[in-house]
């Protein structure tokens, strides 16, 4: 059995750390402190190897007002920072990379402007560019998870695979921030169809859920993004990394 890389998520809205239920700020947005930079330092102190950032202001209203905070996070920790949300052009990607972000998770651009995405991938490579599949009822959604595409998960996984990417971040939006359990079957489907590495996002409520993800690690799921369960202390943080990542670097 392989290890699973645990990736804490910091969702940023109006300069604060939040957890957004089902990716919809208007539905339920709970604050978890004023300073995302301090939160990044906490997760680093808890032995995080990577931190996942979501810029909801960029994703939903295309505002760049959190960029100074993102730069401070990148300057404050020595681990890679990946970011998703509101990246529509190569120029925007370049600006975010200039802040110190290591990897971008691209969603809408893959659907709306595949030619631009291919150029971005050619320029920065598969280590620094990954793709996202956000799903509601087996249908891919884009633009801050607000627009339905009419495309099935299977078809979209095939499309992303054809780009030559190495990693897909898969989110069951209905479970995101709900702590109702991860959609492991969805992630296994994407891994199987695409032949790519999959990062599971959404639904993990505690140790038992993380153990289920680890049990599926030999089927293409090698990492998990966790948000609300960490912020609400659903398991001892150090134990998470020790157990989940055991065997990861063997």
Residues 68-79 have pLDDT tens digits of: 999 999 999 999
Mean pLDDT over 180-201 rounds to 95
Q: Are 58 and 85 in contact, with CB atoms under 8 Å apart?
A: yes
Question: How much is the pLDDT for 244?
Answer: 60
CB 100 within 8 A of CB 74: yes
Q: Which of 55, 57, 134, 209 is catalytic?
A: 134
Catalytic residue selected from 11, 55, 172, 209: 11
pLDDT of residue 28: 47
pLDDT of residue 243: 60
Residue 194: pLDDT band (50, 70, 90) is: very high
Q: Is 11 a catalytic residue?
A: yes
**What does the pLDDT read at residue 134?**
95
- Is residue 127 within 8 A of residue 165, CB to CB? The reply is no
Angle at 194 between CA 189 and CA 199, to 5 degrees: 65
Percent of the chain with pLDDT over 90: 64
Q: Give the pLDDT confidence score for residue 20 in this predicted structure.
A: 61
Antiparallel, parallel or unpaired: β 81-84 and 16-20: unpaired
Q: Is 34 a catalytic residue?
A: no
Selected residue with higher pLDDT from 233 and 70: 70
The CA angle 19-14-83, to the nearest 5 degrees, is 65
The predicted pLDDT at position 56 comes to 83
The whole-number average pLDDT for the span 171-185 is 85
Q: What's the pLDDT band for 236 if we cut at 50, 70, 90?
A: low
> Which of 14-28, 85-99, 176-190 tops mean pLDDT?
85-99
Domains defined for the chain, CATH in brackets: 5-244 (3.20.20.70)
pLDDT at position 45 over 60: yes
Choice between 106 and 62, residue whose per-residue pLDDT is larger? 106
Which of 66-72's residues contact partners 24+ apart within 8 Å by CB, and which partners? 66/12, 66/15, 67/95, 67/96, 67/99, 69/12, 69/15, 69/36, 69/37, 70/12, 70/96, 70/99, 70/100, 70/101, 71/99, 71/100, 72/37
111 C-beta neighbours (distance < 10 Å), count? 20
How far is it, in rounded angstroms, from Cα 203 to Cα 135? 13
User: In the predicted model, is pLDDT for residue 174 greater than 60?
Assistant: yes
192-198 mean pLDDT: 97
- Average model confidence (pLDDT) for the chain? 88
Mean pLDDT computed over 78-96 = 94
Query: C-alpha angle 94/143/192, rounded to 5°?
Result: 85
| DSSP state, residue 199 | E
């Amino acid at each position: 059995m392989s290890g699973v890389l645990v990736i804490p998520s910091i969702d940023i809205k109006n300069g604060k750390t939040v957890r957004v239920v089902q990716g919809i700020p208007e539905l339920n947005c709970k604050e978890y402190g004023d300073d995302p930079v301090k939160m990044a330092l906490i997760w680093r102190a808890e032995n995080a190897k990577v931190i996942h950032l979501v810029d909801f202001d960029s994703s939903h209203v295309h505002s760049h007002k959190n960029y100074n905070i993102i730069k401070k996070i990148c300057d404050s920790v020595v681990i890679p920072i990946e970011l998703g949300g509101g990246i529509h052009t190569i120029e925007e990607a370049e600006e975010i990379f200039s802040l110190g972000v290591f990897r971008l998770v691209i969603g809408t651009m893959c659907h709306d402007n595949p030619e631009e995405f291919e150029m971005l991938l050619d320029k920065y490579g598969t280590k620094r560019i990954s793709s996202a599949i956000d799903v509601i009822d087996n249908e891919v959604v884009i633009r801050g998870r607000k627009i339905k595409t009419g495309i099935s998960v299977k078809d979209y996984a095939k499309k992303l695979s054809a780009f030559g990417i190495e990693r897909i971040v898969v989110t069951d939006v209905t479970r995101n921030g709900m702590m109702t359990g991860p959609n492991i079957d969805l992630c296994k489907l994407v891994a199987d169809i695409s032949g790519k590495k999959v990062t599971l996002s959404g639904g993990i409520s505690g140790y038992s859920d993380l153990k289920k993800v680890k049990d599926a690690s030999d089927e293409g799921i090698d990492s998990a993004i966790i948000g609300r369960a960490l912020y609400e202390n659903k398991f001892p943080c150090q134990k998470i990394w020790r157990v989940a990542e055991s065997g990861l670097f063997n």
